[in-house]
Chain A
Amino acid sequence: MKHKSPLQRLALSFVLGALLLFASGHIDELRAYQGAQAAIFAIAIASIVLLTGYSGQISLGHGALMAIGGYASVIAQLHWHLPYPLAFIVGTAIGALAGFILGITAARLRGPYLAGTTLALAVGLPSLANQFKILGGEQGITVDVGTAPTWIGKEFSQYRWFFWVAVTVALAVFWLLRNLLSTRYGRRWRAVRSNPTAAALSGIDVGRAKVLAFTLSSAVAGLAGSLFAMLLGLVAPLVFTLTLSFTLVTGAVLAGVSNLGGSIVGAVVLVAIPELSGSIASRLGGSEKVTSNLPGVITGVLLILTVLFAPNGPKLPHRKR
Chain B
Amino acid sequence: MLASRRTKGGIFAAATIAVAALVASALPAHAETGVTSSTIKLGITVPLTGAAAPGYNKIPGAMKAYFDYVNANGGVNGRKIQLVVKDDGYSPATTLSVTNDLILKDKVFALVGTLGTANNEATTRLINSKSVPRLFVNTGFSGFADMKKYPTTFPLFPSYATEAKAMGKYLAENFAGKKVALIYQDDDFGLDAIKGFTTAGTSFVAKIPYSAFSQVDPTTAPKWVTALVAAQADTVIMFGVTSATAVLAGAIYKAGLLGKIQMILGSVGSDGTTLKGLLGPLAPALAGTISASFLPSASDATDEYITLFKSINAQYNAGAVFDNNILTGMNTAMMTVQALRAAGTSPTRASLIKAIETKGSTWASASLSPILYSATSHVGYTGYWFGKLGADGNAVSADGPGKYTLYSTDSGSGPVVKAAATRPAMPAKGLPTN
Task: Please give the residue numbers on chain A whose beta carbons come within 8 Å of chain B beta carbons, in ascending order.
Answer: 1, 3-4, 12, 16, 19-20, 23-24, 26-31, 33-35, 38, 127, 130, 137-140, 142, 144, 158, 174, 178, 181-182, 232-234, 236-239, 241, 258-262, 264-265, 268, 272, 274, 278, 288-289, 291-292, 313-314, 316-319, 321
Contact = CB atoms under 8 A, between A and B. Distances in A.
B23 A259 contact: no
A73 to B, nearest CB: 16
Contact of B92 (A20, A239, A264): A239
Given A137-B186, A258-B3, A19 B21 contact: no
B185 to A, nearest CB: 8
A319 B9 contact: yes
A30 B101 contact: yes
Residue with the greatest number of chain A CB neighbours at <10 A, chosen from B1, B8, B10, B25: B10
B31 interface: no
B124 interface: yes
Of the four ranges (under 10, 10 to 19, 20 to 34, 35 or more), the interface on chain B belongs to: 35 or more
A3 B3 CA distance: 11
Given A23-B23, A35-B18, A238-B91, A16 B11 contact: yes
A278 B26 CA distance: 18
Given A28-B26, A292-B87, A319-B5, A140 B118 contact: yes
Contacts of A1: 1, 5
B357 interface: no
A26 to B, nearest CB: 6
A137 B211 CA distance: 8
A29 B107 CA distance: 11
A261 B7 contact: yes
B125 interface: yes
Given A138-B186, A139-B117, 17 more contacts: A1-B1, A3-B4, A12-B8, A12-B11, A20-B18, A23-B19, A29-B104, A137-B187, A138-B185, A236-B93, A239-B93, A261-B7, A261-B8, A265-B14, A265-B17, A317-B12, A318-B5
Residue with the greatest number of chain B CB neighbours at <10 A, chosen from A261, A262, A321: A261
A45 to B, nearest CB: 11
B417 interface: no
A128 B104 CA distance: 34
Given A239-B93, A259-B3, A261-B10, A138 B118 contact: yes
B187 A138 contact: yes
A138 B211 contact: yes
Residue with the greatest number of chain B CB neighbours at <10 A, chosen from A34, A234, A268: A234
Contacts of A234: 92-93, 96, 122
Nearest to A163: B22
Contacts of A317: 9, 12-13
A33 B187 CA distance: 28
Given A28-B104, A30-B105, A139 B92 contact: yes
A140 B18 contact: no
Contact of B19 (A19, A130, A319): A19
A52 to B, nearest CB: 14
B220 interface: no
Interface string B62-76: 000000000000000
B6 interface: yes
B100 A142 contact: no
A232 B122 contact: yes
A238 B11 contact: no
B236 to A, nearest CB: 21
B375 interface: no
Nearest to B57: A288
Given A137-B187, A158-B129, A174 B11 contact: yes
